[in-house]
């Protein structure tokens, strides 16, 4: 056998979005007169804000003159951006994260996929269920997840932490102790958050058990409620057990321009005393040649006064859609959660329908597209995700159609 572990081709996540695309294409071909509204979108739709566009223009002009041209960027990121992030993101939260602990990348998908490389082959991982598929899939590719059970959709060597209505979509501390715990709050797909006190329990659990938490904070900018932590480093002791992943995609619309970062504290060591900060620096420097200068300048502009004002307006636009969808579903009698600190609304399918039955029902009867919850993991069955990334007009119209069903 010379091929890599190919088991991951069986993962349900491999089929999810292509199956949706196929079903929608078949429907529109059969019903060319019907206007389909897509509320399954996992991508931003608002254009980059003027402060960011100005920074891109300015940096592009710099590239045209020999004195200001930039070639390879530093592997770990330009100091101007690392310092801006430390000062504008982490200092206001009362944390002491420094520029040296921030590793600039091309996005949180890559970081959440690649971070497993600095852990041992026999590392036991724990994930929420339902979950952003990247965490499990990349560990499957690395060959540490055991065997796949096609009936349950579970891997034998993964600890699944169900997030259900019963626990408010907030996982319980696992009884079997993992080495590496993936947490994502505000959550994709459920839109759920946990309180600072609850996150502190995770940090204490990890420190007690010498586990590492990978905390995906891609939706941090959507937090609207007090008491919801913006960073895991707000918790005491997190410097000894946590890695945080951040992205410019959802807070500033960089899904197409690509920029993100990982925060790995200098104090973070594994049980043998090996520095994970040093391992990641080595890994990143070997396999990544730096995010583009122009885009790092664009990222810096997000934290200017205008950049902050303009990106907050975009988030407010999406969150207004979230409210329209949340309130619309509620008044149509659905059981709904999320949508308050995240652009995702998570609903229970009515009348015991499966996630896919509800997908077909909604497409045929309301011509609205969403994402079946079972595509994110077995505990997502009987649930459905709608997103706030569409237009206001479409969000309103979709709710009118759903209310009329
Ligand atoms: C969108 C998203 C990301 C960010 O991805 P980028 O690669 O930075 O665009 C990370 N984690 C989750 C859970 C996401 O939904």
* CB 296 near ligand 1, within 6 Å: no
The structure tokens 């891997």 sit at 155
**Which stretch of 30-34, 105-109, 138-142 has the lowest confidence by average pLDDT?**
138-142
**What's the CA angle centered on 205, arms 237 and 87, to 5 degrees?**
30
* CB 184 near ligand 1, within 6 Å: yes
**Residue nearest atom 15 in ligand 1 by C-alpha distance:** 188
For residue 223, report the distance from its CA to the centre of ligand 1, in Å: 16
Mean pLDDT of the chain: 96
Mapped onto helix, strand or coil, the DSSP state of residue 307 is helix
* CB 249 near ligand 1, within 6 Å: yes
Quick check: 15 pLDDT over 90?
no
For residue 341, report the distance from its CA to the centre of ligand 1, in Å: 16
| pLDDT tier, 17 (very low <50, low <70, confident <90, very high otherwise) | confident
* CB 255 near ligand 1, within 6 Å: yes
For residue 231, report the distance from its CA to the centre of ligand 1, in Å: 16
156 token code pair = 């034998």
* CB 105 near ligand 1, within 6 Å: no
* CB 195 near ligand 1, within 6 Å: no
For residue 250, report the distance from its CA to the centre of ligand 1, in Å: 8
φ/ψ of 149, rounded to 5, equals -105, 110
Q: pLDDT by residue (tens digit) across 304-337?
A: 999 999 999 999 999 999 999 999 999 999 999 9
Q: Which atom of ligand 1 is nearest to the CA of 187?
A: 13
Q: How far apart are CA 133 and CA 152, in angstroms?
A: 16
For residue 398, report the distance from its CA to the centre of ligand 1, in Å: 25
Q: Which atom of ligand 1 is nearest to the CA of 260?
A: 8
Calculate mean pLDDT across residues 110-116: 98
**CB atoms < 10 A from the CB of 48, how many?**
22
Calculate mean pLDDT across residues 365-389: 97
Q: Which atom of ligand 1 is nearest to the CA of 216?
A: 11
**Which stretch of 38-52, 83-97, 141-155, 258-272 has the lowest confidence by average pLDDT?**
141-155
| pLDDT tier, 1 (very low <50, low <70, confident <90, very high otherwise) | low
Quick check: 404 pLDDT over 80?
yes
Q: pLDDT by residue (tens digit) across 182-199?
A: 999 999 999 999 999 999
Q: How far apart are CA 261 and CA 282, in angstroms?
A: 15
Model pLDDT, residue 14: 66
For residue 246, report the distance from its CA to the centre of ligand 1, in Å: 8
* CB 251 near ligand 1, within 6 Å: no
- What lies within 8 Å, CB to CB, of 394 at 6+ separation is 37, 38, 39
* CB 187 near ligand 1, within 6 Å: no
Peptide bond between residue 186 and the one before it cis (omega within 30 degrees of 0): yes
Q: How far apart are CA 378 and CA 140, in angstroms?
A: 17
What is the radius of gyration, based on Cα positions, of the chain? 21
Ligand 1 mutation target, pool 16, 44, 107, 109, most atoms within 8 A of CB: 109
């Amino acid at each position: 056998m010379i091929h890599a572990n190919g088991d991951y081709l069986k993962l349900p996540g491999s089929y999810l979005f292509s199956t949706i695309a196929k079903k929608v294409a078949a429907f529109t071909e059969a019903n060319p007169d019907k206007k389909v509204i897509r509320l399954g979108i996992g991508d931003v739709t608002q254009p980059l804000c003027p402060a960011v566009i100005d920074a891109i223009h300015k940096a592009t002009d710099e590239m045209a003159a020999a004195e200001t041209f930039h070639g390879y960027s530093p592997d770990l990121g330009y100091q101007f951006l690392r310092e801006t992030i430390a000062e504008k993101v982490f200092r206001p939260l009362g944390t002491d994260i420094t520029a040296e602990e921030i590793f600039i990348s091309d996005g949180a998908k890559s970081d959440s996929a690649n971070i497993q490389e600095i852990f041992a082959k026999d590392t036991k991982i724990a994930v929420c269920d339902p979950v952003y598929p990247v965490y499990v899939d990349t560990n499957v590719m690395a060959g540490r997840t055991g065997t796949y059970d096609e009936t349950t959709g579970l891997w034998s060597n993964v600890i699944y932490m169900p997030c259900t209505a019963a626990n408010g979509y907030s996982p319980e501390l696992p009884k079997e102790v993992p080495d590496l715990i993936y947490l994502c709050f505000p959550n994709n797909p459920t839109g759920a958050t946990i309180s600072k006190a609850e996150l502190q329990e995770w940090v204490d659990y990890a420190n007690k058990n010498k586990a590492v938490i990978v905390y995906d904070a891609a939706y941090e900018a959507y937090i609207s409620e007090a008491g919801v932590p913006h960073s895991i480093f707000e918790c005491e002791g997190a410097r000894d057990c946590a890695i945080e992943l951040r992205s410019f995609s959802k807070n500033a619309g960089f899904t197409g321009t690509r920029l993100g970062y990982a925060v790995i504290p200098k104090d973070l060591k594994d049980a043998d005393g090996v520095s994970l900060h040093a391992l990641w620096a080595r890994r990143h420097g070997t396999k990544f040649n730096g995010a583009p200068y122009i885009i790092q300048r664009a990222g810096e502009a997000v934290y200017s006064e205008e950049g902050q004002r303009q990106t907050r307006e975009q988030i407010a636009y999406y969150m207004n859609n979230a409210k329209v969808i949340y309130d619309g579903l509620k008044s149509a009698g659905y059981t709904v959660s999320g949508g308050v600190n995240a652009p995702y609304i998570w609903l229970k399918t009515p009348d015991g329908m499966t996630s896919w039955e509800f997908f077909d029902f909604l497409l045929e009867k309301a011509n609205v597209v969403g994402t079946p919850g079972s595509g994110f993991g077995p505990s997502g069955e009987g649930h459905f995700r709608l997103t706030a990334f569409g237009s206001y007009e479409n969000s309103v119209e979709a709710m009118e159609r759903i209310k009329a069903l």
